[in-house]
Amino acid sequence: MDAIFLQILNGLDKGGAYALIALGLTLVFGTLGVVNFAHGALFMLGAFCAVTLQKILTISQKVRDESITFFEAYKEQPYLEIWFGDFGTKIIDWSVPISILLAIPIMLLIGLAMERGLIRHFYKRPHADQILVTFGLAIVLQEIIRSFFGANPIPTPAPDIVAGSAQIGVLLGLGESVVYPWWRIIYLLFSGLVIFLVFAFLQFTTFGMVVRAGMHDRETVGLLGIDVEHKFTIVFGIGAVVAGLAGVMYAPILPPDYHMGMDFLVLSFVVVVVGGMGSLGGAVAAGFLLGLLQSFASMNEIKAILPGIDQIIIYLVAVVIILVRPRGLMGRKGVMED
């Protein structure tokens, strides 16, 4: 029972990441009709926003280490600590949550620049060309990151206060053995919040209404005198921000390295396809569903029956869904059914 509960948490947690990335991806596809293979790179850039902020905050000065007296020893002390004392240490400790504030404008700018500079020229070209050019872009972005940050994963710890594990077993009356890392719980809540915000934005604002209308019938909205293209550019920016936020918050879970985007890209495409191309609800549902499936498939009891199932479950589901129900779980009828 405890194990199953933990697996559910694990699955929801993984699913949160999948859902966030897939949400941005399907938002872009649903509005602009562009298959963006560089979306994983945006996720990676988000994670590196956290890394960058951490590096900036810990720019250090060499100071004499007073605790060692028998020879002249120096240690590095971040300027923030020198200037603000304990408050500075706190800021450094909280660098990951703070970098959310940094990531939002940066990812928005990157998204807008990408759409204006490159993607817009590919609206009329076939999907294959879109895949290819964004694939090239993804390679370039990840190589830029590598030349700045090197090839090794960079540990980016969460704030100390949430570094440990939560005694959720005691909280829910399941016994003391059930513990779960705080940060993963936060990630789950955070992804829920972002998903809620995106949906609320699309559902309750005029801008969102126009975007939804544009997803349904772009031409008519254009004929009503609304500059759809301009609106869709901003949607691309939002998609980039969502991917970036997913990346920022993921940094403490998986130390970011330059190719983490590629690893997630394939998965998130599978999620989008399972949910139904262009369906936002589908992407979220499929994200959590696949996360749960994957975490259950990696239980030892199931691996004993079907060896290797944990490695392929997601792809297996995707294959079955595409073959049996090509419009995905919640895709609209007629959209990309062939």
Q: What share of the chain is helix, strand, coil (3-state, %, to 5)?
A: 70, 5, 25
Q: Considering beta carbons, is residue 102 or 118 the nearer one to other proteins?
A: 118
Min dist CB 138 to other proteins, Å, is: 8
- Residues 79, 61: contact at Cβ < 8 Å? yes
**Interaction between residue 152 and other proteins (CB under 8 A):** no
Residues forming beta bridges with residue 78, ordered by sequence position: 60
Q: Considering beta carbons, is residue 100 or 336 the nearer one to other proteins?
A: 336
The binding track of 126-145 with respect to other proteins, each residue x by CB under 8 A or -, is -xxx-xxx-xxxxxx--xx-
Say how far apart CA 174 and CA 179 lie, in whole Å: 10
Q: Which stretch binds other proteins (CB under 8 A): 205-213, 228-236, 291-299, 312-320?
A: 312-320
Say how far apart CA 75 and CA 186 lie, in whole Å: 34
Scan residues 242-281 and list those touching other proteins (CB under 8 A): 262, 266, 269-270, 273, 277
Min dist CB 203 to other proteins, Å, is: 28
Question: How many secondary structure helices (H) and strands (E) does the chain include?
Answer: 15, 4
Nearest to 298, CA basis, from 5, 2, 10, 15: 10
Q: Which stretch binds other proteins (CB under 8 A): 56-64, 158-166, 168-176, 313-321?
A: 313-321
The type of residue at 314 is I
The binding track of 29-68 with respect to other proteins, each residue x by CB under 8 A or -, is ------x---------------------------------
Q: Considering beta carbons, is residue 101 or 320 the nearer one to other proteins?
A: 320
- Residues 43, 315: contact at Cβ < 8 Å? no
**Interaction between residue 207 and other proteins (CB under 8 A):** no
176 token code pair = 């003391």
Q: Considering beta carbons, is residue 47 or 318 the nearer one to other proteins?
A: 318
- Taking the CA atoms of residue 32, residue 122, residue 325 and residue 42 in that order, the dihedral angle to the nearest 10 degrees is -70
Scan residues 98-117 and list those touching other proteins (CB under 8 A): none
Counting every residue written for the chain, the total comes to 338
278 token code pair = 């262009």
Q: Considering beta carbons, is residue 35 or 98 the nearer one to other proteins?
A: 35
Q: Total residues at the site for other proteins (CB under 8 A)? A: 40
The contacts of residue 95 (CB under 8 Å, 6+ apart) are: 50, 53, 54, 57, 156
Residues that bind other proteins (CB under 8 A): 35, 118, 121, 125, 127-129, 131-133, 135-140, 143-144, 146-147, 151, 262, 266, 269-270, 273, 277, 307-308, 311-312, 315-316, 318-319, 322-323, 326, 336, 338
